[in-house]
Chains A and B, each alone.
Chain A
Amino acid sequence: MKKLMTGNEAFALGAYQAGVVVGAGYPGTPSTEILMNFARYPGVYAEWSPNEKVALDVGVGAAYAGGRALVTTKHVGLNVAADSLFYAVYTGLKGGLVIINADDPEMHSSQNEQDNRYYAKFAMVPMLEPSDSQEALEFVRLAMEISETFDTPVIIRSNTRLSHSKSVVTIEQEGMVAVGEGGEAAAGERPVYERNIPKYVMVPGFARQRHPVVLERMACLTSYAETVPVNHIMQGSPKLGIIAAGVAYQYAREVFPDATFLKLGMVYPLPSELFKKLVSQVERVVVVEELEPFIEEHVRLMGIPVMGKEVFSRTGEFSPDKVRYSAARAGLVDSPLQAPPEVGPPLPARPPMLCPGCAHRGIFYALQRLRAVVLGDIGCYTLGALPPLNAMHTCGCMGAGVGVVHGMDRVGVRDRTVAVIGDSTLFHSGIPPLINILYNRGVSTVIVLDNRVTAMTGHQENPGSGITLLKEPTQEISIENLVRGIGFTKVDVINPYHFPEVVRVLREHMDCGQPSVVIARYPCILHTREKYPPCTVDRETCNDCGNCLRIGCTPISKVDGGVDIDGALCNGCGLCAVICPSGAIKAAGGTPATGINAGQANY
């Protein structure tokens, strides 16, 4: 059967067919849909763990016990899980463990574009890199076999263009396909954990015994890489030899249709003999790889002259036109297609914005009005940093803001400093720095933007949602109990739409001189599909003050002599009505902002 599938759908099917019984991960674009799709297959267990490290430990546990496990993460999630990756490489596992890691060249939705192939080399773990959905499907099975044959975790590297692109997949068999040795659980048998202290307890004495095992394993895998069919030479013109893997291979095929190709399906360890073979067949070798010169460095170290990063950019994502343009500049292709000329003056950009009706908006507007220094974090709420709100001042990685606010406190910068963090991000990595504030006598205020869901990545469940990835009801973790349990005594829960209350409570917390937590709670209205009649503007009363434009809500636009609200886009939350000083904006009664206790702001 032929089917169009995204890379992520194909990964999920591949995992199901390979008999994966446990899947764990934390959402992160572009990897999120792998686990969402996997969770829909019958008989599997899948979970959103609070963070990637927990997910990897869960996968390791399942694999120690003999089950086949899948762990999914975006590239920066592997930073969070790195500690666990390194021990799992030493211990090895009983069942197969495959980690699907999605890089994000161009940073379409990430804070950096790190090249995670270096993790393979660093942790000494084999890595595969598919180039389309068909390979995505097949490589999961291959990775499982490698994992169980060599007793090691295996990483599959995806990227945005593989994960989110669709291509044709030929599915030979519906349902599960039994593969390889081991994987008892996959074959339907009850997994049994076999005790083996020297293998699984990484105290120095035992770990010292494991390090040589890892090196020996890598040597075996290096020979394996020479013969594994996913690494192969495709004979073409003897003039030019291209080494490429993943989606970059596809771009290269378009630009160099006649070249001889060494296509790598396995990007670590690298096959030196195959490189030598290619060199013996062609006049010139070029490495086409996105981001870092990972393959190029290896080939150069072998003493083989190659072209790579002097031709192709080390930043951003490739595309066929970028590859062609670079190749033409270096004289590698005869008839350069010029980069198409610009066709007119620059057009207004369209950056993403907080959704109309988003509960985060009122908080950031209040923080802006209070002239707070906002140490931020990652989530939808990071959009509070954009104009016109301009109300977040730092954002590095998940969980950073709560530590950063305390660091500022310790150098004496504590006037109006607050940390903001989303609920999912708090569960992910915000709790240790929160403990740190109390333990180390800090006085910072932390605002938890609690919309009960992981909104940024498409509304995944989280420990506060009361529901699991498998859609089972579960205990909702209470953030107020959590922070009170840690020992915070000044804790308030507010409705982020009740603007006057928001301002009052935030001001009070910022002035109180003691460590405190404000939980701004309202379930994400985009997720719950809460909607009210659109707000309207009474143009007679509107005095054109422009206040409502400062909350950055897309339906509100400047028109001659006032503003207009696009009724088709407006969610009707009523925030603009509450902050309108002349009362010109009308909202329905009983909306989140105009409901009981909402009152009128004196702004």
Chain B
Amino acid sequence: MARGKVDILLAGVGGQGTILASDILAEVGLQHGYDVKKAEVHGMSQRGGAVESHVRWGERVYSPQVEAGQVDYLLGLEMLEAARWTNYLAVGGVAMVNRHRVAPPSVNLGTAVYPSEEEIQQRLARRASRIWWVDGTTVARQLGNQTLAGVVLLGAFSGLLGDPEDFWLPVIERLVPAKFAESNRAAFSAGRKLWMEGVSQCATCVS
């Protein structure tokens, strides 16, 4: 039985694969020997709305949702959505964010402004001890499918956790449809590689 607890919050936009990424994380936790719970709200998410998913690993997990201010890792599949959940991060927590913008309707209409990367960085830095920017969508596009960005991010995250690659790959293969196994495996390895190369644009902040 694994000890301690790991609370992860994933934030993204409907259609980005946030739920698949959280399913993978939940299974990985189980494989680590943790008790696991995972919570999200489906329904409106398909319509391009915000999606957040809580994944909790622990010796014994009660609530399916993480308590605000207790998240160890905030994984943002989209920058604005990552920023939105900053106050869920524990002081000293870690944020890993896909450098990808999806403008919400008010921004498209010109009635609101999408915050700059610096603003988002500053916001996250109010609580995060480390912030990692990952060009997940760029890499996923190079692989031919931008919805693989979540799995690219997971590849980098597995590196951050220090898990061996083949601890995760079988889980991913089990969870994605067979015809997408190869591309997801490639996405994961690409993310892993980004991590190994130091996630070139790493920003370390002190708070």
Contacts and interface: CB of A to CB of B under 8 A. Distances in A.
B1 interface: no
Q: Which of B46, B65, B87 has the most CB of A within 10 A?
A: B65
Nearest to A456: B43
B110 A558 contact: yes
Contacts of A254: 62-63, 67
Given A166-B26, A350-B104, A558-B109, A320 B65 contact: yes
Contact of A355 (B47, B104, B119): B47
Interface string B29-43: 010000111111111
A348 B102 CA distance: 12
B67 A321 contact: yes
Interface string A540-556: 00000000010010101
Interface in A36-71: none
A324 B115 CA distance: 32
A375 to B, nearest CB: 22
A166 B64 CA distance: 8
A247 B62 CA distance: 9
Nearest to A568: B146
Chain A contact patch, size range: 35 or more
Interface in B92-110: 102-110
A164 B64 CA distance: 10
B6 to A, nearest CB: 15
Given A250-B63, A347-B80, A108 B43 contact: yes
Interface residues of B, number: 57
Contacts of A2: 30
A351 B64 contact: no
Interface stretch (A337-345, A398-406, A414-422, A466-474): A337-345
B49 A160 contact: no
B161 interface: no
B62 A250 contact: yes
A166 B48 contact: no
Contacts of A319: 63, 65, 67-68
B88 interface: yes
A250 B30 CA distance: 19
Given A344-B126, A347-B80, A355-B48, A4 B30 contact: yes
Nearest to B29: A4
B123 interface: yes
Given A337-B69, A347-B83, A166 B36 contact: yes
Nearest to B80: A347
Contact of B108 (A165, A168, A351, A556): A556
B160 interface: no
Contacts of B62: 250-251, 253-254
Given A164-B39, A319-B63, A352 B81 contact: no
B20 to A, nearest CB: 13
Contacts of B63: 247, 250-251, 253-254, 319-320
Contact of A4 (B36, B40, B67, B108): B36
B13 interface: yes
B44 interface: yes
Interface string A129-143: 000100000000000
A387 B112 CA distance: 14
B42 A164 contact: yes
Contacts of B27: 4
Given A30-B43, A166-B26, A343 B105 contact: no
Interface of B: 13-14, 23, 26-27, 30, 35-50, 61-69, 80-81, 83-84, 86-88, 102-110, 112-115, 119, 122-123, 126-127, 146
16 contacts: A30-B41, A165-B38, A167-B37, A167-B38, A168-B36, A251-B62, A253-B63, A319-B65, A320-B65, A344-B123, A350-B13, A350-B48, A352-B48, A353-B105, A387-B105, A526-B46
Task: Please give me the 4 A-B residue pairs with the lowest Cβ-Cβ distance, nearest first.
Answer: A109-B43, A352-B47, A352-B49, A165-B64
Interface of A: 2, 4, 29-30, 108-109, 132, 160-161, 164-168, 247, 250-251, 253-254, 319-321, 324, 337, 339-344, 347-355, 380, 383, 387-388, 457-458, 526, 549, 552, 554, 556-558, 568-569
Given A352-B49, A355-B47, 20 more contacts: A4-B38, A109-B43, A132-B37, A161-B39, A161-B64, A164-B39, A166-B38, A166-B64, A167-B36, A168-B35, A250-B63, A319-B68, A320-B67, A340-B69, A344-B83, A344-B123, A347-B83, A350-B13, A352-B46, A554-B105
